[in-house]
Structure 1
Amino acid sequence: MIFSKKAIVLAGVALLAIVPLRAQVKQTREEYIDKYKQIAVAHMERYGIPASITMAQGILESNCGNSWLSQASNNHFGIKCKRNWTGEKVYYDDDEKGECFRAYPSVEASYADHAEFLDSQPRYASLFSYDPTDYKSWARGLKAAGYATAPDYAERLIRIIEESKLYLLDQENGLALYAQNTRHDANDWFAEQSSVDEAIAISGEGVDPDDFRVTVNAHRGYNVYRINNVNYILAKDGDTFEKISKDFRVSARNLRKFNDVDKNAQPVAGETIYIGRKKKRWTGNTLLHTVKEGETIWSLSQSYGIRSKSLARMNKLDPNARLTTGMEIKLR
């Protein structure tokens, strides 16, 4: 999906009728990153896609927003129409002549569709087993899954990430780290990056990482807590994933993924519901958990903010394995 400057034509309009785009000053890579990095970080929180990967793909696929395709259609990721696309279209000469590409009302819509595209396509499912900080595995995985035909696609993404220090965006407090190390302004970075409105940053000083319930905010009648650097709430009587999704602007589908439950599951009052993607391992001081009666891999994953599959893999167990009282489970 990497393009050279070739003719673009809107759906139903002949190539000869196209009016050339007006010449303008090219946007720099730094300007592009500053403009869209908050969106990339927000999508990392909601979907688990590294912000560095999102930014690098946007930079590469759109030439920092300067390509003809991106200017004509707001398509910054070179996503083709596919059979299920019902939105606006543009036609562009890429691997073949006159291929159909998606057109968007805004660049923000292109970023949103990019996240949904990776999240919903089965061929990219294996990428989500990588940690959001593992940008190299993501880059190679995108190439292996066929995102682009360029043989050096992964190397190009990695080079962009390392040249512009985009890997900083993948870290905890990534926008602040990026601003500190690249001298960019990051006013109100936490409010802009958080999936929770007006969330309060925790410095870590005086906070016990093993403390189960650290309150960080109140939002729409819910107390928002954090464990293992992941935000969660406690479900209320009558709650559904669909209701919670509207309150926290996270899709019900993703909420179920975050909480390792099936597509028909609904929360029970008092149950922990994560509103961000759980971690692959425990970041607190405790190394082992001694199993109590009735505990399961899933219940421990909810208690510690660790993904069920990661916890099972760490302990060489099936995610549905029966745990016995007194058994020791590795947390990291």
Structure 2
Amino acid sequence: MKKRHLPLFLGILMAAQASFAQPASVIRSYVTQFKDIAIEEMKRTGVPASITLAQGIHETMAGTSVLVRKSNNHFGIKCKETWTGASVNHDDDAPQECFRKYDNAFDSYRDHSDFLKTRKHYNALFSLDPTDYESWAYGLKKAGYATNPKYPQILIKLIRDYNLHDYTLVAMGQKTEGPDVLWAQGITTPAASQPVAAVARTVVAEPAALPAPIMPLYPSGVFRINDTKVKYITKGTSYLQVAEEHNMPLSRLFDFNDMAPQETADADGLLYLQRKRKSGNNETHKVGFGETLYSIAQSEGIRLESLLALNHLQPSQQPEIGETLYLKHKAAGMPRLATTMAKADLPQVVQQSVQQAGGPAQPVNMVPLQASEPTGGSYTEHIVQPKETLYAISRKYSVSIEEIMKWNDMQDMNLRSGQALRIRK
């Protein structure tokens, strides 16, 4: 790719980010399916149900990841030295690592609780208030559960967005039902439950603590990531105002952040005040739920073009959840890519920009999905492609995973290449 095309391709990447976001219906379906297990495990071991569900959503891409489909492993737990059960090999921090395999999801949830309860470096978690999910999230990262520097923020956002804290309260007998009851009624945006502040306990009865204020995910003001000055801005922030505050040309601010010019921020996020480095502070980064190449470059403080080059990637490509990206040294090969999507699923501006940039009319990893003629009545037949997920199919036809499963009498979300699915028109 010639250097003069780089800004255009960066714009393509930013425009395409939304194409890989997990739909809320998939996450709600996952929560509804596994909430009872999480509640029972909290009663048995003390691991907050909100934390368990958030980890399950993140680690499995809400039940659709390759690993969970072939192993029923909902929490990415590796074999370790004490594991004597079944296992599968899966690329993670290193190629073909050993992961635990379970007969069913219940066994995975139970092993996850026991894993945290019995290992010494997680002991401190169980001295925390179980309603203080923020401290639990940061405690898991500090104890080494995940390498992703944004792991706590990811869990906290999932808990808040989907009211998962309610399930902790159900397990404690402080509530009788969770948000899934409202979801079943078509109410999908109930007021979020907030964490209860951790306070010293006394034997004297006291009023219920007020919810703690929502804490910022990053420090206020200017701080450093990968030894580069950065600040966290909120949606609606004027980029011109930021540039003037820090005495820099507006064009340089956009250049530092691998972004096309625009007036205001369309979402909360990191904004760098210096040029990011060509390599990261960490050796690798494991692609997490909801992350894109752009968001990873921002969170790690590495130039987007460097991240792409180190991992043999093009701007139009997206690595699969759980894949390892290299931040300091060139990877041996390209990471496994996310489930292929039809070109028609991309925003029109992306399709046009790829063609204008002199690239192929169809991005490298964007392979059209095949669908045969309708099999009769009000249904269309869809032929499952290799590595295709129900999530990708649901996006293609603008239907929910639950509907596809119902139309095809499916008991689980497993698919096989060449399988014919009925999709209602």
- TM-score interval for Structure 1 and Structure 2 normalised by the shorter chain: 0.3 to 0.5
Q: Return the structure number with greater relative CO, CA threshold 8 A, min gap 6.
A: 2
TM-score by length of 2: 0.37
TM-score by length of 1: 0.48
